[in-house]
Amino acid sequence: MKGSVIALDHYKGREAAARMVDGQLEDLIIAPAEMALAPEAICRAKMGRPVKGMGGAFVDLPGGQSGFLRQTKGTKPGAPVLVQVSGLAEPGKAVPLTTRLLFKSRYAIVTPEAPGLNISRQISDQTRLAELADCARRAMEGADPSLGLILRSACETADDAVIKDDIAQMRGLAETILADLEGTPEILLDAPTPHMAAWRDWPSPDTLDENAGSFARHDITEALDSLLSCDVSLPKGASMVIEPTRALVAVDINTGPDTSPAAALKANIAAIRDLPRQLRLRGLGGLVVLDLAPCAKKERQILEQTLRGAFRSDGRDTVLAGWTPLGNFELTRKRDRMPLRQVLA
C-alpha cells in the first residue's frame, strides 16, 4: 500500500500507535504494563548529596524511586527540585534526570531557562517564517523572560490561531508547574500516552485509522510478530541478526547465498540503512556493535558515510564511535524507549 498510515489501536490490551509508510512499519509506540516514570515525565524531587567522582547527585523521586542528576549547580541537599526524566534506566540503576525542562506539543515547545525564539530549520519560506515569528511574539506577550519558545516544523502548514492556542497551553502548563516547587516528591506531568505521542511527533498521514482493529487491517500485527525475532531479512538473500545483551546490542550481518565480488558491500549497506528503523521499532539503545560482512578496508569510508546518513535521518541522539581493532564498528544510541520484548513480557 502506497502512502502513509497512522493506526491508533490497542495491542494485547495496551494502548498502541503505529506508523506505516508504503506498507512498511516505520515507527511504533506501545504502553508498557507498568512504568511510573517514563521519559519526559516531570516531577518534583528531593536533592541528595553529590557523589564524588560521578559528577552528579542522587535524587529522591516519587514512589520511593531514585534518580541521578548531573546538573547540580546551585542546588542543596534536601532541597526540592524540578526534574524531567531524560531516558530509560537499566534494571537496578537510577533513573537519568535533567533540570532542563521541555514542555512539548505538536506545534510548540516551551523551554524554561532557555529564553529566545527558535523556528524549525525545515521551514524555509521567508514569508511564513516572518508570520510565525509574529504569531509567537503575540502569544508570549507578558510571559516570564526566562521562558523560551521553539516552533516545530508542523507549524508550516498549520493555522495561526491553532498555533497560538497551542503556545498558550504550553506556556500556561509551564508556568503552573514551575510555580509548584514546594512539597514532597510528586509526579507533576506524566509522559505522553502512545496516542498523544503519535499526534504530537509524527507527520500528518495520508490515512488516519483510529478504529478498533486498525492494527490487523494494516498488517501491523504481523509486522510486530516479526520484530520479536532476532533475524532480519535483507535483499538478495542477505540477513542480519540483532541480539540485545545486558552490556550491548550485537548486530551480525551475513551475505547469504550471494557470492558476487560486491556481495559483502551490498549486504552491509542494506543492513546499515535498515538498522536505525530496526533499533527504533525494537526499542534498543546503548552500545551497539556491528559485526559487518567481511569487506576491504578501502570500503570503510563508504560504510561510514552510509552510517552517518542513516542515523542523521533517524533523529535520535547517536554517536558513531568508529572501528575496533577487530574490524567491528561501534556506536551508541540514546535509550529513549523500553525494549519491545520487555514491553510485551
Q: What is the CATH number of the domain that holds 80?
A: 2.40.50
Q: Does 36 fall in a domain?
A: no
Instruction: Read off the pTM.
Output: 0.89
Number of separate domains in the chain: 4
Strand (E) or helix (H) holding 27: strand 24-30
β-strand pairing of 207-209 with 186-189: unpaired
Q: Does 233 fall in a domain?
A: yes
* Averaged pLDDT for residues 194-218: 95
CA dihedral of 61, 63, 66, 71, whole degrees rounded to 10: -10
Q: How confident is the model at residue 36, as a pLDDT?
A: 67
Q: How confident is the model at residue 89, as a pLDDT?
A: 79
Comparing 49-53, 210-214, 335-339, the range with the smallest average pLDDT is 49-53
Q: Does 79 fall in a domain?
A: yes
Contact assessment for residue 153 and residue 123, using Cβ atoms and an 8 Å cutoff: yes
Q: Does 280 fall in a domain?
A: yes
On average, the pLDDT of the chain sits at: 93
232 and 339 share a domain?
yes
* Averaged pLDDT for residues 28-57: 87
Among 81, 100, 119, the domain-final residue is: 100
Q: Does 37 fall in a domain?
A: no
Query: Residue 275's domain is classified under what CATH number?
Result: 3.40.630
In eight-state DSSP terms, residue 340 is H
The position carrying cell 557470492 is 259
Alpha carbon distance 103, 127 (integer Å): 27
CA dihedral of 332, 317, 46, 62, whole degrees rounded to 10: -90
148 and 126 share a domain?
yes
259 and 309 share a domain?
yes
Q: How confident is the model at residue 255 (pLDDT cuts 50, 70, 90)?
A: very high
pLDDT of 35 higher than 70: no
238 and 338 share a domain?
yes
Count of C-beta atoms within a 10 Å radius of residue 131 = 14
252 and 208 share a domain?
no
Comparing 27-36, 39-48, 195-204, the range with the smallest average pLDDT is 27-36
**Structural domain containing residue 171:** 103-182
333 and 239 share a domain?
yes
Q: Does 191 fall in a domain?
A: no
Q: pLDDT tens for residues 131-172? A: 999 999 999 999 999 999 999 999 999 999 999 999 999 999
87 and 131 share a domain?
no
Q: How confident is the model at residue 51, as a pLDDT?
A: 84
Count of C-beta atoms within a 10 Å radius of residue 61 = 24
CB-count burial class (<10 Å; 0-12, 13-18, 19+) for 20: buried
In eight-state DSSP terms, residue 321 is E
Alpha carbon distance 268, 239 (integer Å): 9
pLDDT of 310 higher than 80: yes
